[in-house]
């Protein structure tokens, strides 16, 4: 690469050399995408040379074919990639090409979206310089500093990229080309100055695409959030948004009464409302071809190009059938002159997309359906209530929950409430077997001192001969065979009632945004997509295949092939069932493992309290007991151990009720092992001969694990498998996208916001500035903002710029001017406590009131430690159990790796990666449950001083939260 005389004053003209045709084409594409350069009109463009430029930058790509040099370049790129996490690239090349930019954030996002290898300095979180590798092996940098500087190396033996040089130029802000992520709306950020802030759109109305949404089948909490996201995302994309009232019945009836165009304001406040505001109905007419013919005619008359259906498997089956018949339907309409030739030509294809709204969570290929966790929340709340009265009278309660062909609600509720027995359709027993099994378990629990008995029955519960099992049948057995004072509680439609929990609001919103992306990107050949979630990742699945698998489960049950029915369920369902059976048996049955494989496992809580900590400890301890291990609780953290030897073996009877209890029964604090006296900690580990350690907690727990792993060289007692289960409302632990307690906290904050928003709506002309916890992490404020539709949120990662605050105040005023109806007057602004050291929530409220000049006012609202939550949410309870069992399994499997090294120092190699990785963080990354070694996380993926991971996994959620409320970003 050579630096030539600037062709225009203030810019640089650089030539880069390619040594193969393939790398030549890739280089042209690289510079075009990264810097949005175009082939210069008056410049060179041939098979061997291409001049790329914009108003500020000129780069010439030259081809000089040379196989040997290309091999060198390939090796160079491979080498640089291999050291990307450990070495500074600039110290391994002679020179680098660096450009100035005033918009480093956009370029950092571009590196991620285009999947370019990259290094950021001084950190990924707040970079001033970014570097990547071009297809020719050159190190290419961008900087926001005043002067772009190359780093030269004279180190002996350092690798060299032939002929690299430095050039400084100016990069036009916002000119980055991106591959758009599924949650990224930000590539349309050229928004207007008015509220709502939408992309400027000059497309004539007649040429705009139209997207309709409908809800069908049974209602589910979160459907309103889904409709809101689809309507607003459609408008944001420059399309027209329609809703079909009353499900398929509205399609068949048609007309403006049933197929309505919606505006931005029509869906205001819908996230906080239960049920579905656009109605749902099962329609027999649509099952007939004539009904579908009418539906097609009415969609064409309304000008709809795509249809998004939120419903269960029956609704989605109907939607896909509708799409497959579409060509023949519109031909028949044309032949019968019910549509014009022009309409026939324009509406040749109907794009369909499905989002699953079902409280049963019975759709295959997705971990959760919209409404399922809200229904589970209702069930767990009801069971917590009835267990209190059951304890008073030493009663048994038989609780019936929904679930015709799927036992997910009964299974998860069984785990979350420590139920004694559950009945689900996927795993029936013969009539005599289930009676014997249930009575055996209940009798053992009662004999060990448990005063309550909870049995959960799914409405589709059956015996192995397909005979239904009713709550009355179970009641009779408990009374006749065990003599228990027994009551029946049928929850019924309470399970569908109320507003959605935070998870369902977020799931429905993110799926709604992705559904709009999917229909706009679909072609006539694209199979109809279903928007699903796997672990923490929103994904697209083939709708037909998902429905087919779902129906196959019901068919297998009817055929009495229960083994096949279980195999067709997702692996997570099977995992939950195995976990329930294991923790439910505790020490009541013969342990699974032989005596030589039984271990002593210590459990400790470190950090602030968080919902789900007790659930995790309970599940670990009871699972250990069922395996044959001996669980020990370290009470009051490391300081309790070092000062008071606070170690006790955990007893099943003492832990009854922990699964649904908030706080930390073991006690917790923020003291790390080094602060407590790591030598004493090692002494007690040696004294009790612990074979494994599970730490449950937040960033202090993360630091504790790092200290213990680092101390292994000096203290053989720490050469045991150690696992961290992240538990903190901040969700700031590196190595995971989910921490125990953040869902409980988010629900507590969401409910608080709903209440103060109601107060604001009643007062009119009032906004509340809500102070959110979370330390240096804006996760809580961001997700709460998405869940409650806050007008703005401020987080530590961004800080509070005065220009942005002024814009938000202006937008608030415009929003109040447009407000119609009571919902329109409830405004919220969320602020993380650490978003600004200069301005508190109270200060911001005063500024807003002053700037509003009497047109509206603002008050501060500080929920404080309410955000730590009370009773843990079902998500935190069930995930705690799942992760706890995984942690114990990891300790079992890792024993052999460390066993030899405990004998003496000479056997331990601290640089051995396999040994180092036995100290690990157990978390959820994207669509996987993952174990990540603490050493790598601590050294390379953590901002230690900020107590934060370098990569913010929820960053794109902020863009969606802002776009769906029409926030103008400065």
User: pLDDT of 781-802, one tens digit each?
Assistant: 999 999 999 999 999 999 999 9
pLDDT digits (tens, 9 = 90+) for 337-389: 999 999 999 999 999 999 999 999 999 999 999 999 999 999 999 999 999 99
With cut-offs at 50, 70 and 90, classify the pLDDT of residue 761: confident
Answer yes or no: is 947 within a domain.
no
Last residue of a domain, one of 868, 891, 915: 868
Q: Is 314 annotated as a binding residue?
A: yes
Query: Is residue 358 within 8 Å of residue 312, measured between CB atoms?
Result: yes
Query: How much is the pLDDT for 349?
Result: 93
**Is 360 a known active-site residue?**
yes
Answer yes or no: is 99 within a domain.
yes
Answer yes or no: is 9 within a domain.
yes
Overall domain count for the chain: 5
Identify whether residues 831 and 884 lie together within a single domain: no
Identify whether residues 431 and 537 lie together within a single domain: no
Given phi > 0 = left and psi -120 to 50 = alpha, else beta, which region is 555?
Answer: alpha
Q: Is 404 annotated as a binding residue?
A: yes
- Statement: residue 1 has pLDDT above 60: no
Range scoring the smallest mean pLDDT among 56-60, 62-66, 555-559, 786-790: 56-60
Closest CA to 273 of 311, 329, 307, 225: 225
Q: Is 415 annotated as a binding residue?
A: no
Query: Is residue 508 within 8 Å of residue 225, measured between CB atoms?
Result: yes
Answer yes or no: is 967 within a domain.
no
Q: Is 895 annotated as a binding residue?
A: no
Q: Is 487 annotated as a binding residue?
A: yes
Answer yes or no: is 970 within a domain.
no
Where is pLDDT greater, at 148 or 904?
Answer: 904
Considering the candidates 184, 320, 360, 876, report the single residue annotated as catalytic.
360
Q: Is 865 annotated as a binding residue?
A: yes
Q: Is 633 annotated as a binding residue?
A: no
Q: Is 81 annotated as a binding residue?
A: no
Which residue in the block uniquely carries the two structure tokens 């004694």?
420
Identify whether residues 45 and 149 lie together within a single domain: yes
Q: Is 174 annotated as a binding residue?
A: no
Query: How much is the pLDDT for 40?
Result: 59
Identify whether residues 49 and 160 lie together within a single domain: yes
With cut-offs at 50, 70 and 90, classify the pLDDT of residue 122: low
Q: Is 661 annotated as a binding residue?
A: no
The CATH number assigned to the domain holding 142 equals 3.10.180.10
Identify whether residues 760 and 733 lie together within a single domain: no
Identify whether residues 688 and 611 lie together within a single domain: yes
pLDDT digits (tens, 9 = 90+) for 458-517: 999 999 999 999 999 999 999 999 999 999 999 999 999 999 999 999 999 999 999 999
Query: How much is the pLDDT for 905?
Result: 56
With cut-offs at 50, 70 and 90, classify the pLDDT of residue 324: very high
- Joined together, the tokens standing for residue 696 give 């449950």
Query: How much is the pLDDT for 30?
Result: 86
Mean pLDDT within 609-624: 97
Identify whether residues 708 and 651 lie together within a single domain: yes
Question: What percent of the chain is modeled with pLDDT above 70?
Answer: 91
Mean pLDDT within 528-543: 92
Identify whether residues 665 and 769 lie together within a single domain: no
- Statement: residue 564 has pLDDT above 80: yes
Answer yes or no: is 692 within a domain.
yes
Answer yes or no: is 68 within a domain.
yes
Biggest distance spanned by C-alpha atoms of the chain: 98
Determine the Cα–Cα distance for residues 751 and 349; give it in Å rounded to an integer.
43
pLDDT digits (tens, 9 = 90+) for 731-750: 999 999 999 999 999 999 99
Q: DSSP letters along 905-955, please? A: GGG--TT-HHHHTTEEEEEEETTEEEEEEHHHHHHHSEETTTTEESS-TTH
Query: How much is the pLDDT for 201?
Result: 79
Q: DSSP letters along 250-317, please? A: HHHH-STTTEEEE-GGGGTTGGG--S-TT-----SGGGSHHHHHHHHHHHHHHT--EEEEEE-HHHHH
Last residue of a domain, one of 847, 868, 889: 868
Query: Which letter does DSSP use for residue 164 in this model?
Result: -
Closest CA to 171 of 137, 138, 199, 140: 140
Structural domain of 590 = 586-740+876-941
With cut-offs at 50, 70 and 90, classify the pLDDT of residue 823: low
Closest CA to 355 of 370, 374, 340, 335: 370
SS (H, E, C) 499-541: CCCHHHHHHHHHHHHHHHHHHHHCCCCCCCEEEEEECCEEEEE
Identify whether residues 6 and 142 lie together within a single domain: yes
Query: How much is the pLDDT for 10?
Result: 34
Beta-carbon contacts of 463 under 8 Å, excluding residues fewer than 6 positions away, are: 428, 429, 430, 431, 434, 469
Last residue of a domain, one of 171, 202, 222: 171
The CATH number assigned to the domain holding 272 equals 3.40.50.450
Residues 830, 836, 837, 840, CA torsion sign: negative
Q: Is 612 annotated as a binding residue?
A: no
Query: How much is the pLDDT for 613?
Result: 97
Q: Is 947 annotated as a binding residue?
A: yes
Mean pLDDT within 531-541: 92
Identify whether residues 801 and 771 lie together within a single domain: yes
Identify whether residues 647 and 694 lie together within a single domain: yes
Q: Mean pLDDT across the chain, nearest whole number?
A: 88
- Statement: residue 46 has pLDDT above 50: yes
Identify whether residues 487 and 518 lie together within a single domain: no
Query: How much is the pLDDT for 657?
Result: 94
Q: Is 459 annotated as a binding residue?
A: yes
Query: How much is the pLDDT for 275?
Result: 94
Answer yes or no: is 468 within a domain.
yes
């Amino acid at each position: 690469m050579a630096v030539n005389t600037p062709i225009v004053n203030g810019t640089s003209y650089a030539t880069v050399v390619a040594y193969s045709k393939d790398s030549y084409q890739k280089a042209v594409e690289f510079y075009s995408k990264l810097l949005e350069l175009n082939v210069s009109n008056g410049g060179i463009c041939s098979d061997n040379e291409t001049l790329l430029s914009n108003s500020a930058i000129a780069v010439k790509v030259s081809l000089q074919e040379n196989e040997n040099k290309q091999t060198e370049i390939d090796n160079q790129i491979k080498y640089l990639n291999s050291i990307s996490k450990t070495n500074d690239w600039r110290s391994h090349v002679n020179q680098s090409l660096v450009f100035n930019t005033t918009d480093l954030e956009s370029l950092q996002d571009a590196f991620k979206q285009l999947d370019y290898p990259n290094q950021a300095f001084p950190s990924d979180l707040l970079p001033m310089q970014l570097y990547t590798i071009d297809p020719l092996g050159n190190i290419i940098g961008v900087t926001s500093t005043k002067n772009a500087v190359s780093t030269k190396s004279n180190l002996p033996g350092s690798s060299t990229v032939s002929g690299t040089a430095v050039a400084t130029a100016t990069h036009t802000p916002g000119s980055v080309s991106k591959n758009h992520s599924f949650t990224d709306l930000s590539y349309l950020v050229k928004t207007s100055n008015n509220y709502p802030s939408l992309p400027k759109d000059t497309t004539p109305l007649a040429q705009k695409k139209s997207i309709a949404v409908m809800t069908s089948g049974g209602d589910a909490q979160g459907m309103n959030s889904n409709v809101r996201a689809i309507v607003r995302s459609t408008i944001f994309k420059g399309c027209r948004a329609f809703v079909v009232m009353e499900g398929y019945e509205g399609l068949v009836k048609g007309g403006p009464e049933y197929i309505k165009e919606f505006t931005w304001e029509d869906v205001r406040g819908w996230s906080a409302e239960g049920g579905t505001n656009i109605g749902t109905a099962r329609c027999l007419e649509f099952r007939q071809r004539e009904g579908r013919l009418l539906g097609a005619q009415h969609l064409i008359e309304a000008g709809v190009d795509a249809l998004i259906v939120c419903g269960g498997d029956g609704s989605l089956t109907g939607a896909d059938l509708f799409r497959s018949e579409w060509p023949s339907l519109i031909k028949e309409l044309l032949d019968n002159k019910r549509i014009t030739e022009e309409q026939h030509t324009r509406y040749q294809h109907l794009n369909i997309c499905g989002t699953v709204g079902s409280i049963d969570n019975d759709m295959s290929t997705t971990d959760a359906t919209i409404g399922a966790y809200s229904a589970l929340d209702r069930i767990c709340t009801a069971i917590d209530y009835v267990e209190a009265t059951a304890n008073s009278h030493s009663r048994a309660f038989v609780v019936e929950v929904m679930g015709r062909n799927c036992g997910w609600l009964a299974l998860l509720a069984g785990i979350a409430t420590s139920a004694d027995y559950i009945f689900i359709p996927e795993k029936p027993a013969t009539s005599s077997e289930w009676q014997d099994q249930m009575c055996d378990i209940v009798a053992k629990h009662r004999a060990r001192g448990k005063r309550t008995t909870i049995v959960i029955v799914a409405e589709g519960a059956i015996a192995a001969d397909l005979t239904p099992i009713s709550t009355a049948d179970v009641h009779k057995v408990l009374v006749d065979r065990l003599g228990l004072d027994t009551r029946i509680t049928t929850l019924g439609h309470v399970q569908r009632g109320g507003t959605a929990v935070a998870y369902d609001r977020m799931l429905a919103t993110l799926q709604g945004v992705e559904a709009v992306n999917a229909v706009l990107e679909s072609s006539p050949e694209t199979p109809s997509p279903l928007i699903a979630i796997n672990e923490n990742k929103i994904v697209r699945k083939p709708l037909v295949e998902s429905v087919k698998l779902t129906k196959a489960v019901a068919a297998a049950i009817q055929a009495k092939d229960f083994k096949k029915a279980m195999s067709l369920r997702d692996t997570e369902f099977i995992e939950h069932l195995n976990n329930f059976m294991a923790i439910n048996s505790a020490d009541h049955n013969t342990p699974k493992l032989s005596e030589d494989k039984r271990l002593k496992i210590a459990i400790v809580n470190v950090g602030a309290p968080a919902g789900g900590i007790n659930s995790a400890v309970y599940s670990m301890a009871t699972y250990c007991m069922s395996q044959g291990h001996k669980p020990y609780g370290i009470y009051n953290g490391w300081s309790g151990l070092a000062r008071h030897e606070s170690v006790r073996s955990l007893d099943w009877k003492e832990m009854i009720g922990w699964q649904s209890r908030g706080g930390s029964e073991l006690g917790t604090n923020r003291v790390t092992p080094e602060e407590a006296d790591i030598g004493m900690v090692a002494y007690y580990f040696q004294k009790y001969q612990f074979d494994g350690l599970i730490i449950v907690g937040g960033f202090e727990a993360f630091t504790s694990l790092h200290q213990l792993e680092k101390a292994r060289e000096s203290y053989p007692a720490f050469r045991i498998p150690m696992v961290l289960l992240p538990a903190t409302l901040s969700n700031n632990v590196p190595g995971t996208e989910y921490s125990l307690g953040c869902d409980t906290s988010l629900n507590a904050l969401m409910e608080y916001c709903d209440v103060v928003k109601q107060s604001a709506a009643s007062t009119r002309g009032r906004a509340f500035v809500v102070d959110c916890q979370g330390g240096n992490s804006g996760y809580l404020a961001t997700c709460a903002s998405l869940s409650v539709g806050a007008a703005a949120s401020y987080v530590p990662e961004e800080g509070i710029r005065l220009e942005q605050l002024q814009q938000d105040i202006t937008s608030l005023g415009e929003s109040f001017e447009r407000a119609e109806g009571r919902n329109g007057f409830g405004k919220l602004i969320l602020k993380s406590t650490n978003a600004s050291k200069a301005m508190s929530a109270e200060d911001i409220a005063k500024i807003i009131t002053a700037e509003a000049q009497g047109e509206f006012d603002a008050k501060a609202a500080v929920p404080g430690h309410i955000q730590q939550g009370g009773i843990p949410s079902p998500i935190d309870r069930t995930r705690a159990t799942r992760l706890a069992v995984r942690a114990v399994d990891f300790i079992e499997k890792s024993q052999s790796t460390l066993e030899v090294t405990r004998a003496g120092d000479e056997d331990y190699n601290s640089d051995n990666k396999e040994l180092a990785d036995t100290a690990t963080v157990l978390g959820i990354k994207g669509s996987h449950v993952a174990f990540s070694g603490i050493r790598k996380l601590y050294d390379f993926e953590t901002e230690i001083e900020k107590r934060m991971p370098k990569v913010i996994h929820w960053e794109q959620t902020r863009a969606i939260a802002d776009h769906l409320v029409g926030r103008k970003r400065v």
